[in-house]
Structure 1
Amino acid sequence: MQKPSRIAIVGLGPRGLALLESMIFALRESPDKVVELHLFDDGAPGCGIHDEWQPDYLMLNTVAGQLSAFSWHEDDNGRLGPTFLEWCHAQTVRLDERGYPARSGRVVSPGDFLPRRLLGRYLRDCYQQLMTMAPVGLRLYYHKTRVMACTTERTRETYLLRCQSGESVEVEAMFLALGHTGQESVIPASFISPVHAGIWPGTVVEDKPVQKVAISGLGLTALDSLSRLTEGRGGEYQLQDGELIYHPSGKEPQIFMFSTSGLPFHARPHWQSGDEREALPLIFLTSATIRKLREKNALLPLDFIEHILPIIKMEMKAAYYMACAHNRSMAIAKDIHDKLSGHNGEYFMAALVKEYGPFDPDRYLSWVPWPVAIQEYEEAFCCWIRDDIRESLRGVNYSPLKAALEIWRRGRNVLREVVNHHGLNAASTQLFYQRYAPIANRLVGGPHIERYNELLALIKAGVVRILPPMFVADEGKRLYSVNNPQEICVDVDAVISARVWPSGLSRTRSPLLISLREQNLILPAGQYPYDGIETDKSGRVINGDNAKQPTIWAFGPIVEGATFYNHYVPTPDKACQAILESRLAVKSCLETIMKAKEEVTPSTMK
């Protein structure tokens, strides 16, 4: 009988599940192969950071219709299991008027933002379903523990994984899907970092007698921290005459929110039926355009400012004017799309400016703080949020602004083609990750509308104050104005650093990644903050000798820098990159292992 190949998946969140599903499907098609697959995770299998015991006020920032642990298989003409939306319907999940789970109410729609715990339950169920689908040649072993170190055995042909539980497992190949590993703290010890500390936002200050808490950040993690300090302490929201009102519990601290730029994130557009159906193809930011640029540039790395940013701006303008036209009719929008796609597209763009008015993308690609007086900053902030909510409610098809900003989301796969595997020159790569990736996140990675309604209610109730651009000093006890530090300062009892830190190698807290790097088995793709594990196009890691490590593959946030945008749950889309990457890696792994077995001569076989 054939000796089984021993393979490990280290980390069993959504990316680990994608690898598990890909392995199951691959071995169903190759019944002659025998594999022992060892799965390692010290949390609930499948869930990752989506703990099913989280409170309902910690919400997803991806709509229900865009999540799936099961991918599409053409040969089976379907999926091996349900999408998240299908699962919600099967579980008869109902939502109240604010979109929270309730005993009675409406059914979940594709555009609903749901509590993370529901996704955790779904992912757990998907794991359990996958475990029942293993073909005869696949033996599954789940280890509820954390892999702490890896040593190479037998002249580097196998790996010995040493676990926190004390057990050791020898494997021939492994997939690293560790999720967010965080980094060593670069902030004062007196700060509170909900992500770095490995806890849920705000829990550090739960038992401390603090009266004033500052939240450093204005993005999703900041709003999670805010929810923990308000709803998490017994406060309640109530709709009154169409306005959301916050009723304090009296246990909330005074909360200050700020960032060094002071710029808020744009809210997600309201989902409308037909959004996907009516989306017209991109015109300028396309794979074909990038291929032509590379050919023209003699296949050398591209320059982001010279080659790519002008294309993105053109696509933003096109989206803006097509949405303007869509407010008249879809037929007019399609006509504009066709004309912009023609040889005289840029000339026609000038005509659109005359008809619909100017639109300047640079206004939204800036990192410069607003020129607003300090005493007027909070009101300006609230006015901006209200305006942005109004645009979001129009939806991506009818709000020209949201249509333009969403190009940074719709064109993400093309941006991957641009950035992945050193597709930009070194200076452009640094600029992209330090400036434009954060800008893109601010444009399309903001909260859903309900979160901003909650923030406005908290400000009106006096629980939250919005500060102008500030920085922290005096061991985290005092905030100073960026523009006027001599005159403007705020004393606080605690600061929450509300940021998801990169998971690269230079500052990693992961014992396993430290172990792998010490043995020269992995290599950073670049400098901080894009110093994730270097990989090839199949996800195979590049070792310290700048050569392919034949039997290690890596995915997720730990490879940010080798590839772009890796922190997401797979989608139902047939072209979902996470799924395609998993399938390619599993195929590569099985081919590599089987080829090695075939090369073993009869005289060496026992």
Structure 2
Amino acid sequence: MIWDSSNLDSALLNLPNEIDSLICSVEQLEEYCENEPYIAIVGGGPKGFYALDSFLSRAKDYLKQPQFKDKKLNVHWYNDNRNFATGPHFNTDLPSYFLVNRCIAEITCWEQHEDEDQHSNKLNLIGWLQKYSNSSQEVKWDHLCTRELLGYYFLDACMSIIKEKHPQIIVHLLKEDIIDLDIEEDQFSLKAKAQDIPFHYDSILFATGHSYQNTSFSYLKSNQNAGYSIIDEIYPIDKLNEIPARAEVAVWGTGLTFLDAMLELTEGRGGIFYKKDEEYHYLSSGKEPIMFPFSRRSLPNLPGNPFSNTKKRKLTFLNDTWLSELIAENKKVDFLNEVIPLLDMEVKYAFYPLIPNFKEMDKEAVLNFLKDDKAEKYFSLNALMDPFSHSKLPSDSNFQEFVVDLSNYCMQMTEFGEFQSPMAAAIGALREGYEQIVKLYNEVGFTAESQKAFLDRWAPNINHLAYGPPREVSEKFFCLMREGYINFLFSEMPSVTQSGNSIRLKNKYIEKDFQFLLNARVPKGNLRLNNNSLFDRMLEKSIIKEWINDSYRTGAIELDEFGKPTGLNENLQLYFYGIPEEGQMVNKDNILRTQNNNAVSWAEQGLFEIQKRYVSGKERGAYDGQNFNLDSA
């Protein structure tokens, strides 16, 4: 079952208009009052909403104090477009063929509380669907949903906290593109693209999400008269309208963003997928281009199978005991030598017991086989990462045929989920192992050389394999590849150069010219690439600095464990949350609040500092990075 907005109570469909009616301009606000606290959240996606919720839920205790009886607490929530709470990726205007890349189990936009009875109105996605669905269909944990439906869930939650906020808290949603920040004594000022913002803020959190420019093919744009076209990003999705029917388009990227482009250029142009004998077929509209994807790995995602906290692979080697012992050593980990061998064992130990020849063997016998260096093994972590090299096929083989055969094999070997299908089991072990690796990275870090290898190669490849699309999308991809709308030409990453009025892709085996080049990758933040003008200006002013791990220059913002720039005056309340933390922390591109929720630290510390600043004659409380105490120390 795939849930979409057609399954919702019709009253919810007005939510986009409700939140849109709250958006205003800076000119409409009351004048700045220096005796009142002001806080700002920059970034209007789900992480910005999470930050707002964290702040509002904690501010209620703050406002119980008699000293604040007549004071207002001003919250300014900025976004560069009108997609508050959803961001572009969960916009309610998205087509229904864009799915959330995980089943609905455990999806929630709320913090987890011990006293759940007091938060019974804060429903997870399953509970919300049970309450607001107009369908007689039972809601099950392994169901899927569309991204636009999840957008309605976010909007409903966001509207609920705004409506239920304390009357002394004034929340304004402001459509402004913030481009600069300055520090004035112990407060901040902001500058928008259109104007200076006439307020001084006591606390600011940046949750700006995917806000980086794609600079990959800038060298091809110097010739203004060139006859080719480069599309730097696929969002908003109507950018793809530039690609004409039947055009051959080179697509850089073979991951989840490519799959969005694939669906928009086929189903989005009137093509129809239908099933016959349990297999997808495609009825063309005649408006589709032919896509030629390429990347460093040049292989598609593997399909993701449903999992939940109670229904997923359990680890044997990278388990919690292993993790605790490594963290307790309190030293940087050599990822390549201390982790990769165990991850290799983990995926093999998940795969082999589900192969017919091994099903009758006990665990000890399987382990002995895996540890025997002389025993030939056709499956391993390296085989999963680089199946073409592992296949030992000639390098000039027909790569399209290889990818079709590989995709067919993987679809068969993942069909029954991670407890019954060998490849699905290996992917599940890879996913769970990566979750442990992320905890290790975030807690103690890796040595410089192994961190570079992890960020450059291993993390992108593991994400590509372990966090694939729903099987439904993989089946559509396989159908389009089989029917000739997707063609994998390049087994190795080609060079991309200008050739007259064309763009030429070339490696040592094949070359081809194109008039259209689509960048279907989401750019990562990198201070060394100057691909975010706001952060560039903050770097120039030494408000932030680059994180350097020994000799390795990461390009990431150096932050403490709570998301605050290191070296900043401790009284200055400036935090980063989500995607801007990538590099210093890993796996921040996540709709769940359970990992590295810096919004809590920001809200608690911000309120603590506001109390010191605006409550005269009261002793300072104590903040230890975990608990916010409004009483005197």
Is TM-score (shorter-chain normalized) higher than 0.5?
yes
Deviation at 1:388, TM superposition (A): 1.3
2:270 alignment partner in structure 1: 234
**2:380 corresponds to 1:360:** yes
2:563 alignment partner in structure 1: 539
Q: Aligned partners of 1:220, 1:169: CA distance in 2, in Å?
A: 40
With the length of structure 2 as denominator, give the TM-score of the two structures: 0.79
With the length of structure 1 as denominator, give the TM-score of the two structures: 0.82
2:169 alignment partner in structure 1: 138
Mapping of residues 200-599 of structure 1, within 5 Å: 200=237, 203=240, 205-206=242-243, 211-269=247-305, 271=306, 276-279=309-312, 281-293=314-326, 295-296=328-329, 299-320=330-351, 349-350=367-368, 360-366=380-386, 369=389, 371-372=392-393, 374=396, 376-420=398-442, 423-469=445-491, 470-475=493-498, 477-484=502-509, 488-526=510-548, 530-543=554-567, 550-570=572-592, 576-578=594-596, 580-597=597-614
1:163 alignment partner in structure 2: 192
Mapping of residues 26-41 of structure 1, within 5 Å: 26-30=58-62, 31-32=64-65, 35-41=73-79
Q: Aligned partners of 1:368, 1:550: CA distance in 2, in Å?
A: 52
Q: Aligned partners of 2:342, 2:478: CA distance in 1, in Å?
A: 36
Letter in 1 for 2:91: D
Cα offsets for 1:74-108 (capped at 9, x unmatched): 134345522223333434266xxxxxxxxxx8455
Cα offsets for 1:17-53 (capped at 9, x unmatched): 1111111221234432663221111332101122211
Q: Quickly say closer, same or farther: Cα 1:170–1:277, change in 2 above 3 A.
A: same
Q: Aligned partners of 2:426, 2:250: CA distance in 1, in Å?
A: 33
1:199 alignment partner in structure 2: 236
2:114 alignment partner in structure 1: 74
1:150 alignment partner in structure 2: 181
Deviation at 1:590, TM superposition (A): 2.1
Which is worse superposed, 429-438 or 490-499? 490-499
Q: Quickly say closer, same or farther: Cα 1:366–1:432, change in 2 above 3 A.
A: same
Deviation at 1:505, TM superposition (A): 2.5
Q: Quickly say closer, same or farther: Cα 1:289–1:191, change in 2 above 3 A.
A: farther
Local SS of the residue matching 1:464: coil
Letter in 2 for 1:475: Q
Alpha carbons 2:546, 2:555 under 8 Å: kept: yes
Q: Quickly say closer, same or farther: Cα 1:109–1:530, change in 2 above 3 A.
A: farther
Q: Aligned partners of 1:512, 1:592: CA distance in 2, in Å?
A: 25
2:26 alignment partner in structure 1: none
Which is worse superposed, 492-501 or 180-189? 180-189
Identity %: 22
Mapping of residues 37-116 of structure 1, within 5 Å: 37-41=75-79, 42-49=81-88, 50-77=90-117, 78=119, 80-92=121-133, 106=137, 108-116=139-147
Structure 2: gaps (5+ residues): 1-32, 222-227, 620-633
Cα offsets for 1:180-199 (capped at 9, x unmatched): 0123512133563453x753
Q: Aligned partners of 2:168, 2:436: CA distance in 1, in Å?
A: 38
1:101 alignment partner in structure 2: none
**2:22 corresponds to 1:22:** no
Local SS of the residue matching 2:99: coil
Q: Aligned partners of 1:257, 1:218: CA distance in 2, in Å?
A: 6
Deviation at 1:530, TM superposition (A): 4.5
Q: Quickly say closer, same or farther: Cα 1:280–1:468, change in 2 above 3 A.
A: closer
Local SS of the residue matching 1:171: coil
Q: Aligned partners of 1:501, 1:233: CA distance in 2, in Å?
A: 26
Deviation at 1:171, TM superposition (A): 0.4
Q: Aligned partners of 1:529, 1:406: CA distance in 2, in Å?
A: 32
Which is worse superposed, 386-395 or 459-468? 459-468
Letter in 2 for 1:311: L
Q: Aligned partners of 1:7, 1:136: CA distance in 2, in Å?
A: 16
Deviation at 1:304, TM superposition (A): 0.8
Q: Aligned partners of 1:38, 1:64: CA distance in 2, in Å?
A: 32
Q: Aligned partners of 1:74, 1:2: CA distance in 2, in Å?
A: 38
1:11 alignment partner in structure 2: 43
Local SS of the residue matching 1:256: strand
Local SS of the residue matching 2:76: strand
Letter in 2 for 1:285: L
1:172 alignment partner in structure 2: 202
Alignment size in residue pairs? 558
Local SS of the residue matching 2:487: strand
Letter in 1 for 2:150: L
Q: Aligned partners of 2:517, 2:353: CA distance in 1, in Å?
A: 44
Q: Quickly say closer, same or farther: Cα 1:23–1:111, change in 2 above 3 A.
A: same
Letter in 1 for 2:607: L
Deviation at 1:376, TM superposition (A): 2.8
Q: Quickly say closer, same or farther: Cα 1:61–1:282, change in 2 above 3 A.
A: same
RMSD: 3.4
Letter in 2 for 1:250: G
Q: Aligned partners of 2:39, 2:387: CA distance in 1, in Å?
A: 46
Deviation at 1:481, TM superposition (A): 4.6
Letter in 2 for 1:58: F
